[in-house]
Every structure is written in C-alpha cells, then in structure tokens.
C-alpha cells in the first residue's frame, strides 16, 4: 500500500508558501502606498513654491509701470535742473532756508511772550482783594496780610462769558511786607506788566514808604532793561476820604525827586539799583521813565476795576 504522508507534507508546504507570499504582497502594497503619499506631499510643496513664484512675478509685472513712471519723472527733473542756471538754484535753496528760519523765530517769539502780571505795593493796599475780583468777581473780605505769593493762571472773570479762545493770565500777588519784598525778584524779570497798588485813603501817612518802594522797583535793572510797563493803581477810591489819582501822582513825583537827591551820593555803591531815574537837573516826573508809567483809580470792594483789566489786556493779548 502507498503511504499518504508525502502528499500531506506537500500540501502543508504549499500552504506555507501561499501564506508567505500573501504577507510579502501586503507589505509591498503598504510600502507602495507610503511612497505614493510621500511623492504627493512633495508634489504639493513644489506646487506651492511654483504658485509663490508666480505671485511674485505677477506683483513685479504690476509694479513695472509705476517704476517706469518714476524713472521718467526723475529723468525730467534732471533735465529741468540742467536747464536752470546754478545761481537760481542757490537762490531757491536760500529762500527755503530763510523762510524756515523766519518761521522758527516767529514761533520762538510767541513762546517767549509773557502772560505774567505782578500785583505789588505796601501791605493793606487791597492787592489780595483785587486778585480775587479778577479771578472770580468776589471781594473775599476779611483777608489777612499774605506771607507767600498768591498766584494763579486763569481767564479774567469779566471775560468768562465771551466766546472764542481767550488767553489766560498768570497773576501774582506779591506780599507787601518789607521783609518779604525780595520775593518780587522771582517774578519781575519775566513779567509783562507790574501793578503797584496804593491805598488812596491812607496815602499821606505812608507817602514816604510808598515812594521808596516804588523807587526801588523803577530802578531795578530787569524793569529798566525790559521796559516793563507799570500801573500805579489808586485803590479804595469809593471811600469819601480817598485822595484822587492826580494828587497821589504829584505827591509821588515830589517824593521820588527828593529820593533821587538823597540817594545820589551812594548810587555808585548801590548794587541793587543799577539805574537812576529822571533827567539830571530837571524836576522828576513819571514821563521821564524809560518804561511807561500810568496812574489809574479802582475800588476792589465794589468791583470797579475796569482800568486794571484794561491794563492787563494791553499787556496780555486775548
């Protein structure tokens, strides 16, 4: 009888071979898929690069007409420049620089215009009341002698209802006490105007002291060199016993004339006052001062301060 084992073994070997071929085929297909996907990715990257290059070329093509126009403009400018004589070019450049310089000076000058008004005078003259009248229209009765400068930047109370842009005023009320007058030197050099307040009621008893203080101000180097305008404001004229501005002006001129004579002997050694007043050999009057000196009347308590407001606005333009 024939044996069946060789036949069985042959079938088994064939099955193994078929199984191995299937595994190999499956692996090969997987490798093929992976290779195809990689090639597709590379193809996409290449495509993107090609599209970017196309876009760049498109932008270049769109800009080309503008570049040509720019080159043509430069060429025409060069041709025109060659036709202009050199002297005209120098004149044009000089005109541009000169105009720029003038505009710079105008701007700098505007920034240097002062808006500071200084209120000064002996204590008790009503400077602080005038300050509050100008600021908010109130008298602030009961104020005491100031020990520190009272200052503020504001539009005058009488102008608050006006339309349009109005320049604010920097108003400084300097203490009138003799020991505090040195503070005046902090503000006078940059002042647009000085208001010297005189008590029209108590003028005669204080005439000498008022004249000495006024003399010191009028002979200050900063006042004389800058020709700072000064207003002698006779306050409290609403009182029956108040003196008129003409009387006060004449008495001050007489007293200052005496001071000129008494101080002449020490003028060379006086380092605080570098200038003298008036014309030698003539009776002193305020018209002889290098800076403009005017005299006016006012009443701080009643609010009649129009001459003061006018003086301020003549120095600090709205």
Q: Tell me the pLDDT tens digit for each residue of 141-171.
A: 655 566 678 889 999 999 887 777 888 999 9
**CA distance linking residue 252 with residue 80, whole number of Å:** 73
**CA distance linking residue 263 with residue 244, whole number of Å:** 28
pLDDT in tens, 238-295: 999 999 999 999 999 999 999 988 876 555 544 455 578 888 889 999 999 999 999 9
Half-sphere exposure of 176 (CA within 13 A, CB side): 23
E runs forming strands in the chain: 116-121, 150-154, 169-173, 193-199, 230-235, 293-297
Task: Locate 93 and state its tokens.
Answer: 């450049």
Q: Enter the CATH code of domain 114-315.
A: 3.40.50.300
CB neighbours of residue 225 within 10 Å: 13
Residue in this structure with the two tokens 């006078």, named with its chain if needed? 188
Asked if 292 and 229 count as a contact pair (C-beta separation under 8 A), the reply is yes
pLDDT value at residue 1: 45
Helices (H), 113-244: 127-136, 207-218, 221-226
pLDDT value at residue 174: 92
| 51: confidence class by pLDDT, cuts 50, 70, 90 | low
Going by C-beta distance under 8 Å and a sequence separation of 6 or more, which residues neighbour residue 122?
A: 176, 198, 199, 206, 209, 210, 213
Task: Locate 91 and state its tokens.
Answer: 């004149």
Residue in this structure with the two tokens 């004389």, named with its chain if needed? 224
Phi-psi region for residue 164, left (φ > 0), alpha (ψ -120 to 50) or beta?
Answer: left
- pTM for the model: 0.64
């Amino acid at each position: 009888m024939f044996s069946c084992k060789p036949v069985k073994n042959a079938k088994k070997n064939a099955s193994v071979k078929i199984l191995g071929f299937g595994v190999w085929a499956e692996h090969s297909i997987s490798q093929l898929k992976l290779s195809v996907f990689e090639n597709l990715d590379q193809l996409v990257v290449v495509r993107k690069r090609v599209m970017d290059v196309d876009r760049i070329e498109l932008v270049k093509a769109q800009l080309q007409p503008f570049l040509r126009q720019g080159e043509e403009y430069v060429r025409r400018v060069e041709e025109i420049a060659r036709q202009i004589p050199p002297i005209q070019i120098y004149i044009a450049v000089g005109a541009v620089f000169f105009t720029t310089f003038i505009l710079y000076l105008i701007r700098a000058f505007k920034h240097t215009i002062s808006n500071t008004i200084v209120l000064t005078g002996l204590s008790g003259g009503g400077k602080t009341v005038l300050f509050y009248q100008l600021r908010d229209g109130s008298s602030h009765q009961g104020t005491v002698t100031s020990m520190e400068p009272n200052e503020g930047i504001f539009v005058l109370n009488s102008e608050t209802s006006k339309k349009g842009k109005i320049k604010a005023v920097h108003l400084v009320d300097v203490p009138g006490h003799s020991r505090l007058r040195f503070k005046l030197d902090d503000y006078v050099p940059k002042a647009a105007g000085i208001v010297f307040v005189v008590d029209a009621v108590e003028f005669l008893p204080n005439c000498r002291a008022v004249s000495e203080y006024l003399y010191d101000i009028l002979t200050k180097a900063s006042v004389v060199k800058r020709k700072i305008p000064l207003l002698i404001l006779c306050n409290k004229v609403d009182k029956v016993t108040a003196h008129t501005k003409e009387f006060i002006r004449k008495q001050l001129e007489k007293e200052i004339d005496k001071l000129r004579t008494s101080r002449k002997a020490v003028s060379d050694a006086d380092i605080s006052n570098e200038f003298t007043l008036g014309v030698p050999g003539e009776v002193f009057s305020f018209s002889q001062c290098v800076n403009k000196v005017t005299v006016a009347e006012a009443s701080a308590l009643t609010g009649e301060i129009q001459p003061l407001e006018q003086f301020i606005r003549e120095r600090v333009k709205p």
